[in-house]
Amino acid sequence: MSRGAAGSGRDDDNPETLHKRFETYNNDTMPMVEFLEKEGLLRRIDANRTVEEIFDDVEKLFVETPVEESAK
């Protein structure tokens, strides 16, 4: 939210918009995440590492789960 105060040009960095984004996440995004997880289609990766480490994990997931298999 400090980004809006710094004059980034974003009018939507305010408490009201942040609240709406949070509601959208909880109402629309989280149910989809839960569904995909139950179906075994969700993969989680720890993004608190280097870009190279994250890329290696993503690459391994694509090798382990070919596109044809995940599209079933």
pLDDT over 90 at 68, yes or no: no
Q: For position 10, what pLDDT does the model report?
A: 76
Q: What one-character DSSP code corresponds to residue 49?
A: S
Would you say the pTM of this structure is higher than 0.85?
no
Q: What is the pLDDT of residues 16-63, one digit of tens each?
A: 999 999 999 999 999 999 999 999 999 999 999 999 999 999 999 888
pLDDT in tens, 52-66: 999 999 999 888 866
DSSP 3-16: HHHTT-S-TT-SHH
